[in-house]
Structure 1
């Protein structure tokens, strides 16, 4: 089986569709090295993952995700810990993984670099996080796993039919703030047990999520470690005021905030659905393991 094609997973609605017209140019740039470019057909997340797995099974030289962190997340399920190149063309609302690993935020430049890296046989290894549920289901994520207030907001927004677009998340934030309460968590970080009440809990392979909110500003996707954050109960007003500080990562100086670093983390809590890269994983508990160099990034 020959590795003679580039598989492209493109999300036409990523970034609210603002890059939709760039796809033909991106495809042309990717194919500049002479390889065939194959656009993968998918109408939902499960189909996207299946298409990526099939492409890898058929010997793709690379899988390229054109979209945001959600598109990257879907494609990673097929390339993680596999000897296949991975490219990212940042075209989403949130491009946190791309920003963390030095992918150009200009889609055409990113496509040209992917093509050049393939021609040169060059890749850069970056860590990924592997999760395992209580039922043994394994998933990979690249940026941040939310397991507190932000996860609750995501879960509520996904259940809402209206309003459409980003306003749905604004409404979900207000509704979750109204019922905010600290929940009991148990976190095991490399075997050390931490038990605490909190509203904010997250595990990061990269510094930011949600399009630049630096929840774990010192997280490094090439250091073989995960960063873990939790905060003593903050209350509604402090949580509501947290967003501006998240943009700069200055919230970690608050004495109520704890940041740990570990290779393996287990998070336990009742009534929380974990979200990673903005995608729904499933209920806690979750085991999260850093896998060094698990993705071969073409850049």
Structure 2
């Protein structure tokens, strides 16, 4: 009987999101042969950790010998030789449980998200992220210049999400962008009892909710999970967002309705292992403090 990843949280991640390959990447597009040669010469040299490595390490810590709750798969434009270095680097960083990978040698990799059943795709390649989102998969471009994750919560994964165009659709954001704040507030109050349509990251939040429930039931390794909604919404528009989560039967542990305040300082206090937002200004603000990813979705990303 074939192996199945059913009932696991499946994270697909590129080599540049997991490791610091920025020096090598300078060769990738202009000299592919030179890139392969450089990676071959460094096969026994572990790559430095990348922005998403702490998140991956914590997620994998949910697994026990009896129960596999999380699967991390390498999904990369790298060639197979470079893939050897990626796997060796993973082992050197204590991530030997990463055993699956797809290396496409420059070809588009995002098509493999379907057979993987991925709940999240993290990549430093903006075009790949855009196409993954178009296919319906939660995906974000990792800002490789992001600050590192805090080490203050070793037994807890913390993930923060923007609301509109990330957890929810950009329906309300379109009203705000085209008609202004007053029209947005009126629209949200008029539709307060109507749940917002699903956004691209609802499947990830749902999968994290299942993982959180398993952790609370004591069927994982003792790791915990904490989620936060960090949104520019404010009262009274906050109510529709909360009602939508209630309709989904999915809760978040914290909610910040910031009314347009810069998110970076608030995220620094929450200390997420990763933050997802659709607007480049918010992502840039966040990246000065925490690991951040840009969700190229909605009206803010035409």
- The TM-score, its normalising length taken from structure 1, stands at 0.30
Q: Which has the higher strand share?
A: 1
Greater percentage in helix: 2
Return the TM-score normalized by structure 2.
Answer: 0.30
